[in-house]
């Protein structure tokens, strides 16, 4: 059987076209190193971290792996200090998402290139993809609404081929709702050169989530997520163009539609969410996950997730065509 190999493998110097989403609240240096050591591209979210923290995160990743990895910034909340600290860490990949409409991406991407990094930018719409391609990104992540955390409203199966056409010949990486080998194979068939995973890699022993939160991902059937601005209203953030996909916990249920009251009591609600996470209390907390939770039924090491996903995709891409494409012309229907 052949081995999956795409242009993003060459672009990033990785074995498998599988990326870890640079999740600000969902990555650890251990998870990043595990993904990179497994042949994927680990990616650490550093949004909201101080320059000293960014430096120490990069150092801890380098203790765990010699392989390429990325650092991710949420552009709408990244000041000059954060950008400089991230570039100074000299990660092989500079990964970005969610700029404000006013931000000028071209000088930022040029600075990253000058620092020796590849630039990968995540979008949720076709115009955002064109904007990033024109600004000089090396690859575009097209993220559909199925995904966990902050997402737009277009579905992955529609957005990916549209972005592929809009930015050709730039490589596109599909994200949102992908958690198994069938998802990887399907993304490649849509024209993507790889996939980026969030939720699937939160259900690993290397993720920063408490064990009960990881188990909640396994329990979720994927029908119990919803889009809301509640986490951002509570955090006091205005996120350009996004809603947060969260698990419908008791806490979310209680405050949904009551944003005005939430704004009046943000500090207390922040404390409640923090306490719930420390206590491993999912129902009184907030858990950002995607619909693909319905495809995830066990907490497994990141390396095992990536190996089985790639093996399943290779198997499907090799065997399935023979099942669905007849070698001879089909027999005409009677009548
Ligand atoms: C808890 C959480 C935090 C996230 N934080 C970030 C972030 O800081 N930057 C970013 O580019 N994407 C972030 N994402 C989005 C992921 O990178 C990825 O696009 C998404 O999880 C893909 O969908 P999936 O969860 O179905 O795999 C986050 C996702 C989650 C679930």
- Residue spans of the domains in the chain: they are 7-205+299-318, 211-279
Average pLDDT over residues 34-45: 98
Q: How confident is the model at residue 323 (pLDDT cuts 50, 70, 90)?
A: confident
Our answer on whether the CB atom of 310 is closer than 6 Å to any ligand 1 atom is no
Q: How confident is the model at residue 60 (pLDDT cuts 50, 70, 90)?
A: very high
pLDDT digit string, tens, across residues 152-165: 999 999 999 999 99
Our answer on whether the CB atom of 75 is closer than 6 Å to any ligand 1 atom is no
Torsion of CA 309, 314, 318, 321, to 10 degrees: 40
Q: How confident is the model at residue 335 (pLDDT cuts 50, 70, 90)?
A: low
Q: How far is the CA of 238 from the centre of ligand 1 (A)?
A: 17
Q: Work out the percent of the chain whose per-residue pLDDT is above 70.
A: 98
> Residue whose CA is closest, atom 13 of ligand 1?
23
CATH superfamily, region 7-205+299-318: Aldolase class I (3.20.20.70)
> Residue whose CA is closest, atom 2 of ligand 1?
149
pLDDT digit string, tens, across residues 94-149: 999 999 999 999 999 999 999 999 999 999 999 999 999 999 999 999 999 999 99
Q: How far is the CA of 275 from the centre of ligand 1 (A)?
A: 23
Average pLDDT over residues 12-16: 98
Indicate if the pLDDT at residue 77 is higher than 90.
yes
The overall average pLDDT reported for the chain is 96
Nearest ligand 1 atom, CA 176: 23
Q: What is the DSSP string of 168-230?
A: TTS-EEEESS--SHHHHHHHHHTT-SEEEESHHHHSSTTSSS-HHHHHHHHH--STTEEEESH
Residues 143, 253, 205: CA angle, nearest 5 degrees:
55
Q: How far is the CA of 84 from the centre of ligand 1 (A)?
A: 23
Average pLDDT over residues 42-49: 98
Indicate if the pLDDT at residue 329 is higher than 70.
no
Residue 1 pLDDT: 60
Q: How confident is the model at residue 330 (pLDDT cuts 50, 70, 90)?
A: low
pLDDT digit string, tens, across residues 93-104: 999 999 999 999
Indicate if the pLDDT at residue 333 is higher than 90.
no
Nearest ligand 1 atom, CA 20: 17
Our answer on whether the CB atom of 231 is closer than 6 Å to any ligand 1 atom is no
pTM attached to this predicted model? 0.97
Mutate to test the pocket of ligand 1, among 19, 20, 23 (most ligand atoms within 8 A of CB): 23
């Amino acid at each position: 059987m052949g081995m999956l190999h795409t242009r993003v493998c060459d672009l990033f110097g990785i074995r498998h076209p599988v990326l870890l989403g640079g999740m600000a609240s969902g990555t650890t240096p251990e998870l990043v190193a595990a993904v990179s050591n497994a042949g994927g591209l680990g990616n650490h979210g550093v949004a909201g971290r101080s320059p000293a923290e960014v430096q120490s995160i990069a150092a801890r990743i380098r203790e765990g792996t010699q392989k390429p990895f990325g650092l991710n910034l949420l552009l709408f909340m990244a000041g000059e200090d954060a950008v400089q600290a991230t570039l100074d860490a000299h990660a092989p990949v500079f990964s970005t998402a969610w700029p404000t409409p006013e931000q000028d991406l071209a000088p930022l991407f040029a600075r990253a290139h000058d620092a020796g990094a590849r630039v990968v930018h995540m979008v949720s719409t076709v115009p955002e993809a064109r904007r990033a391609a024109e600004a000089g990104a090396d690859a575009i992540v097209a993220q559909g609404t199925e995904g966990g955390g902050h997402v737009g409203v277009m579905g992955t199966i529609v957005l990916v081929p549209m972005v592929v056409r809009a930015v050709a010949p730039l490589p596109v990486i599909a994200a949102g709702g992908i958690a198994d080998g069938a998802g990887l194979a399907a993304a490649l068939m849509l024209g993507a050169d790889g996939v980026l995973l969030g939720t699937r890699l939160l259900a690993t022993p290397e993720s920063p989530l408490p064990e009960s939160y990881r188990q909640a991902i396994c329990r979720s059937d994927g029908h119990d997520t919803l889009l809301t601005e509640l986490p951002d209203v509570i955090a006091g953030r205005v996120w350009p163009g996004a809603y947060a996909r969260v698990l419908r916990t008791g806490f979310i249920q209680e405050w949904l539609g009551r944003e005005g009251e939430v704004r009046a009591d943000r500090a207390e609600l922040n404390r409640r969410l923090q306490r719930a996470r420390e206590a491993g209390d999912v129902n009184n907390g907030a858990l950002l996950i995607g619909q693909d939770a319905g495809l995830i039924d066990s907490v497994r090491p990141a390396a095992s997730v990536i190996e089985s996903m790639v093996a399943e995709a290779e198997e499907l891409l090799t065997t399935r065509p023979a099942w669905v494409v007849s070698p001879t012309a089909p027999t005409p229907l009677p009548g």
